[in-house]
Amino acid sequence: MPAKIAIDWLNACAGCEISIIDMGPRLLTVLDLVEFVHLPALMDHKYFNQMGDGKHLEMPEAAVGIITGSIRNEEHLEVALEMRKKCGAIIAMGTCATHGGIPALCNTFTTEQILEHYYSTETTDPHDERPSDGLPGLLDACYAVDEKIDVDILLPGCPPHSDQVFETLVAFLEGRPAVLRDKSVCDTCPTTREGKGKVKKLRRYLQAPEYENVNDGIDKMRCILEQGLLCMGPVTKAGCCGNEGDPRCISARVPCRGCYGPVEKDGNQRLDMLNALVSNGIDIASLPESSSMLRFTGAHGMLRPGGGRL
């Protein structure tokens, strides 16, 4: 009998759902093994009965629940709690779900500061009334899923590569641990490294790395960090290229921004990156700021109103 799967998106952009669909023909393999019982991106299934006459938010029972997105408002929290209750296992999928993701950048401000700024800023499209009727209230911050409910499997990535989505799902259904890359982006990067200590200061973020010939592979390009551009590869989990191939951003000759989150689940990308810069002999006073090193991982108290934790 196929395993029942429920998938829901909370504070999310739908990119993770695209990654599921991006499994392509392998989706047919998955469809032989599972039955989707709730998937708002693809099927019409309502929380309060199909006629909207239910009194409580209800989800169908499932062997596994996949949650994408972080938890920012009361509705996200209610859905997450209901999925925890109805699903045998929970997979937090995507860096929003595992570490807060881009939405958790809001944690550098209080919710009141954000609302005050939004509803008091003078624009040509004034919106000075704070809406309230029928809207779920905002929580005090943006949370990763495991800060609010127990999570069984974490699959970071913004979005996770479809190879990793497939492997995680199939491994779960086969009752074995998923075989995924678990080192850093640097460990999967073929750029040329000449050694530490040659660059003393970081260059501006928007400058492009240098390379000899556009037709050469990135194995002929010097490491972007060694060129003095902030590349988060040393402190970011590998996997954006699936289980083989080169890191995506580096292949496009731009620095890694850290979207897969820390190498170890509880790592602090900002602290780890500052350490990496110092150990490379780079003066961290040349950094204009460091909060953006947590641009994908601001939940778990990493970013806090007023600047965040070091």
Q: Considering only residues 62, 165, 189, 303, which one is a binding residue for ligand SF4 as defined by CB under 6 A? A: 189
Q: Are 276 and 235 in contact (CB under 8 A)?
A: yes
Q: Are 77 and 10 in contact (CB under 8 A)?
A: no
Distance CA 226, CA 117 (A): 40
Q: Considering only residues 66, 95, 282, 303, which one is a binding residue for ligand SF4 as defined by CB under 6 A? A: 95
Q: Considering only residues 15, 65, 100, 308, which one is a binding residue for ligand SF4 as defined by CB under 6 A? A: 15
Which lies closer to ligand SF4 via its Cβ, residue 63 or residue 254?
254
The nearest distance, CB 11 to ligand SF4, in angstroms, is 8
Q: Is 145 in the site for ligand SF4 (CB under 6 A)?
A: no
**What residues have CB less than 8 Å from 153, skipping those under 6 apart?**
89, 90, 91, 92, 168, 172, 178
Tell me the DSSP string of 15-79.
HHHHHHHTTTTHHHHHHHHEEEEE-TTTS---TT-TTS--SS-----EEEEEEESBEEEHHHHHH
Reference 234, options 257, 254, 251, 265; nearest CA is 257
Start-to-end C-alpha separation, the chain: 50
Residue span binding ligand SF4 (CB under 6 A) among the ranges 36-44, 46-54, 194-202, 229-237: 229-237
- For the segment 17-46, give every residue that binds ligand SF4 (CB under 6 A): none
Which lies closer to ligand SF4 via its Cβ, residue 34 or residue 199?
199
The nearest distance, CB 17 to ligand SF4, in angstroms, is 8
The nearest distance, CB 142 to ligand SF4, in angstroms, is 11
Q: Is 104 in the site for ligand SF4 (CB under 6 A)?
A: no
Q: Is 101 in the site for ligand SF4 (CB under 6 A)?
A: yes
Tell me the C-alpha to C-alpha distance, in Å, between residue 62 and each of 66, 98, 193, 230, 287: 10, 21, 48, 43, 48
Block residue for tokens 């929380």: 47
Q: Considering only residues 228, 234, 298, 308, which one is a binding residue for ligand SF4 as defined by CB under 6 A? A: 234
Residue span binding ligand SF4 (CB under 6 A) among the ranges 51-59, 77-85, 89-97, 116-124: 89-97
* Helix, strand, coil abundance in the chain, percent, nearest 5: 30, 15, 55
Q: Is 68 in the site for ligand SF4 (CB under 6 A)?
A: yes
List interacting residues with ligand SF4 (CB under 6 A).
Answer: 12-13, 15-16, 68-69, 94-96, 101-102, 158-159, 185-186, 189, 191, 223-225, 231, 233-234, 236, 240, 247-250, 256-260
